[in-house]
């Protein structure tokens, strides 16, 4: 195919437009996806088919390299991104002028979705993460899960070599600790050690009472998750169902009452009033919001405790000093990312704090699935509007991959 001749003033937008008009980009992506995701099989016929596809992929990419002045970049973009993803990437580059140099990724209902991916991270998503890794982009997995749970499926999904490469970090239990394999004495950091004794005692008291003193409806309808500094009640019913909504609304009120009984100088009425005034979602979920004056001592303690409500999914009490944003900063320090520009992906209020940290420090982009909490969606739509369908984190990852290709030229 002969090299095209473009007018001297033709900019990258025009070249990208011409590429998607002139080339069978969908066919190129199909070949790339087949080559990337072809499963290991002991079959000479299948291997021969894969080799043929690889040769055809190389031929199509070479045709783009030959035809276009920046053909190497365009071939890489076209092999990974749809037209919409490519032009979104170009807009992001025009706005921010730099590549993403670290991925900060929530897992549950972000990389995987109970309703869309059967709680499995899609193979496409896992492969895209390995491609970012191969391009030198560190990965921070940022989750409320325990370290052992996260280590297990990251090794299974991404491979032992990547997890122990020194460029992956795990912020676990929503910021309780940070695990960064391959970094000697900094491999494991226990951030909870900085909490005051007063906060630690309050969580110990609440956790010891939360199930034993719960009404029968909650004992039947909920189960306990979290850790020493995170008390989370999850529904035994299907997430989002009418039964789950009802039991989590009840659980929220119950947790606030426990907190009010435990906090110094506080009452249950004060706890309900304080958190309802701070969060309209909490106010709307409570069956009763007393008109109570909050004592100064109680308010000071409440300011150190975060209460989160996720309709039909969870009611949670957590230390405000242990959160994902602090964990991410600690992880970036160990990874040596001194000037971060992160892709932050998440769906919950705990992820929102990381997104707000990135926005405040001009340190990245935020992306979220459509079913995220309202505060997360408001933030994402007010910034770069990187909203994706549940279970389709690959959409944004492909966009950012294209952004990095365009920024590298």
CATH code of the domain covering residue 180: 3.40.50.1000
Looking only at the bridges linking them, the beta strands covering 364-369 and 342-345 are parallel
- Is residue 6's pLDDT more than 70? no
φ and ψ at residue 265, rounded to 5 degrees: 70, 15
Q: What average pLDDT does the chain have? A: 92
Give SS3 for 306: strand
Domain contains 90: no
Domain contains 2: no
pLDDT value for 4: 46
Return d(Cα 333, Cα 57) in angstroms, integer.
39
Return d(Cα 236, Cα 257) in angstroms, integer.
21
Indicate whether 178 and 213 sit together in one domain. no
- Is residue 103's pLDDT more than 90? yes
**212 pLDDT tier (thresholds 50, 70, 90):** very high
Indicate whether 31 and 126 sit together in one domain. no
Indicate whether 184 and 244 sit together in one domain. no
How large is the average pLDDT for residues 48-58? 92
**Residue the block writes with tokens 């300011």:** 303
Indicate whether 389 and 355 sit together in one domain. yes
pLDDT value for 10: 52
**46 pLDDT tier (thresholds 50, 70, 90):** confident
Higher per-residue confidence, 8 vs 181: 181
Domain contains 143: yes
Burial 81-106 (b: 16+ CB within 10 A, else e): bbeebbbbbbebbeebeebbbbbbbb
Domain contains 256: yes
pLDDT value for 89: 97
Indicate whether 328 and 313 sit together in one domain. no
Tokens standing for residue 270: 């004060």
- Is residue 42's pLDDT more than 50? yes
- Of 272, 302, 319, the residue that ends a domain is 319
- Of 80, 114, 131, the residue that ends a domain is 80
- Is residue 210's pLDDT more than 90? yes
Return d(Cα 197, Cα 95) in angstroms, integer.
46
φ and ψ at residue 25, rounded to 5 degrees: -70, -35
Domain contains 3: no
pLDDT value for 115: 73
Enclosing domain of residue 247: 197-319
Indicate whether 311 and 201 sit together in one domain. yes
Which stretch of 52-61, 69-78, 189-198 has the lowest confidence by average pLDDT? 189-198
Instruction: Using a pLDDT cut of 90, give the percent of the chain over it.
Output: 76
Indicate whether 214 and 179 sit together in one domain. no
pLDDT in tens, 241-252: 999 999 999 999
- Of 271, 288, 319, the residue that ends a domain is 319
Indicate whether 125 and 213 sit together in one domain. no
Tokens standing for residue 275: 């958190």
Task: Please count the CA atoms within 13 angstroms of the CA of 273 that sit on its side-chain side.
Answer: 13
**3 pLDDT tier (thresholds 50, 70, 90):** very low
Domain contains 129: yes
- Is residue 352's pLDDT more than 90? yes
pLDDT in tens, 145-161: 889 889 988 998 999 99
**Residue the block writes with tokens 């950091």:** 189
Domain contains 67: yes
Highest mean pLDDT among 38-47, 190-199, 344-353: 344-353
**15 pLDDT tier (thresholds 50, 70, 90):** confident
Domain contains 93: no
Indicate whether 221 and 128 sit together in one domain. no
**2 pLDDT tier (thresholds 50, 70, 90):** very low
pLDDT in tens, 273-325: 999 999 999 999 999 999 999 999 999 999 999 999 989 989 999 888 888 99
**119 pLDDT tier (thresholds 50, 70, 90):** confident
Q: Please, which residues bridge with residue 136 across strands?
A: none
Residues 6+ apart with CB under 8 A from 288: 253, 272
φ and ψ at residue 26, rounded to 5 degrees: -60, -40
- Is residue 220's pLDDT more than 60? yes
Indicate whether 182 and 222 sit together in one domain. no
Which residue from 336, 55, 322, 297 is spatially nearest to 171, judged by alpha carbons? 322
Indicate whether 180 and 213 sit together in one domain. no
- The single-letter DSSP state of residue 241 is S
Indicate whether 327 and 183 sit together in one domain. yes
**Residue the block writes with tokens 């609304």:** 249
pLDDT value for 106: 96
pLDDT value for 8: 42
Return d(Cα 229, Cα 173) in angstroms, integer.
9
Residues 146 and 297 sit within 8 Å (Cβ to Cβ): no
**How many domains does one find in the chain?**
3
Residues 341 and 364 sit within 8 Å (Cβ to Cβ): yes
């Amino acid at each position: 195919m002969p090299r095209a001749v473009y007018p001297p003033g033709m900019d990258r937008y025009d070249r990208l437009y011409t590429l998607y008009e002139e080339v069978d980009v969908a066919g190129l992506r199909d070949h790339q996806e087949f080559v990337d995701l072809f499963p290991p099989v002991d079959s000479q016929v299948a291997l021969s088919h894969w080799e043929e596809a690889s040769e055809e992929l190389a031929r199509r990419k070479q045709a783009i390299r030959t035809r276009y002045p920046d053909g190497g970049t365009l071939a890489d973009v076209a092999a990974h991104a749809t037209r919409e993803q490519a032009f979104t990437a170009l807009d992001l580059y025009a706005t921010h002028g730099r590549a993403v140099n670290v991925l900060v990724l929530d897992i549950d209902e972000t990389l995987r979705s109970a309703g869309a991916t059967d709680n499995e991270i899609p193979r496409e998503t896992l492969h895209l993460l390995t491609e970012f890794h191969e391009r030198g982009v560190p990965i921070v997995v940022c989750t409320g899960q325990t370290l052992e749970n996260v280590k297990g499926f990251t090794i299974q999904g991404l491979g032992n070599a990547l997890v122990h490469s020194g460029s992956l970090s795990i912020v676990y239990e929503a910021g309780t600790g940070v695990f960064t394999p391959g970094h000697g004495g900094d491999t494991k950091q226990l951030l909870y050690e900085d909490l005051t004794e007063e906060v630690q005692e309050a969580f110990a008291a609440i956790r010891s009472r939360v199930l034993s003193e719960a009404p029968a409806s909650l004992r039947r309808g909920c189960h306990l998750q979290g850790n020493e500094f995170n008390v989370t009640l999850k529904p035994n019913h299907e997430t989002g169902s009418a039964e789950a909504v009802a039991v989590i609304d009840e659980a929220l009120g119950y947790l606030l009452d426990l907190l009010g009984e435990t906090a110094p100088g506080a009452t249950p009425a004060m706890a309900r009033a304080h958190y309802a005034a701070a969060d309209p979602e909490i106010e709307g979920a409570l069956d009763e919001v007393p008109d109570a004056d909050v004592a100064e001592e109680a308010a000071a303690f409440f300011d150190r405790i975060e209460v989160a409500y996720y309709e039909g999914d969870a009611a949670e009490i957590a230390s405000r000093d242990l959160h994902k944003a602090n964990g991410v900063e600690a992880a970036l320090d160990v990874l040596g990312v001194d000037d971060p520009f992160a892709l932050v992906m998440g769906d919950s209020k705990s992820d929102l704090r990381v997104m707000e940290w990135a926005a405040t420090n001009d340190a990245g982009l935020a992306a979220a699935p459509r079913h995220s909490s309202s505060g997360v969606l408001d933030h994402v739509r007010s910034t770069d509007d990187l909203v994706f369908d549940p279970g389709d984190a690959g959409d944004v990852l492909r966009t950012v991959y294209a952004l990095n290709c365009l920024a590298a030229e």
